[in-house]
Amino acid sequence: MRNRLVLASESPRRKEILKSRGLEFTAVKSGYTETDSGDPVTTAVNNALGKARDVFVKEGSPSGVTVLGADTVVFYGGEILGKPENAQAAVKTLKKLSGKTHKVVTGYAIVGKNSVKTGYDVSEVTFNELSDALIKEYVGSGLPLDKAGSYGLQDGFPIVKSFSGDRENVIGLPFDKIVKETGGF
């Protein structure tokens, strides 16, 4: 019998990625408080692990449950650019990234009764030169307000010029790499 999969997130993007792979799972919001400073890889992996452990405990730490936690950070100019606090912060971040290349790091953790597996993936994203009008329209849509770096590759706005690496990593869950490195769920 396969373990019951729990996603330690209510992210619609992560849910969509798991659903697109035909997985059955439940999503539980973690109460873990994320950090957004320090080394981006360590930060992303530690946040993912904190979320997964928190939800595993909420679930009662039973056998037969596997919890998947993930955290995506945008890293540019020596700083982690987290989710914007408000529209003004989103505008500031988008202007900072306009025409530039940055890194997207997604850390992941899989927690079960007798095992913990962690890892990460890194992609590079280059933005188009963003006009003030485009930034205003995009921020006005509300789409960037719940995303690291104040943008989503999948949002349908001409924000991203190009990227290298896994598209799903940029969106928030490098599913294929997780399965390859951990053997799956």
| pLDDT confidence of residue 50 | 98
pLDDT along the chain (185 residues), means of 10: 85 96 95 92 97 94 90 96 96 98 97 94 98 98 95 96 96 94 79
CATH class of 4-182: alpha beta
| pLDDT confidence of residue 122 | 98
| pLDDT confidence of residue 37 | 86
176 is catalytic: no
Check 71, 132, 166, 176 and give the catalytic one. Answer: 71
CA 161 to chain centre: 20
Gap between the Cα atoms of 59 and 55, Å rounded: 6
Asked if 176 and 118 touch (Cβ cutoff 8 Å), the reply is no
For the chain, which residues make up each domain, given as ranges? 4-182
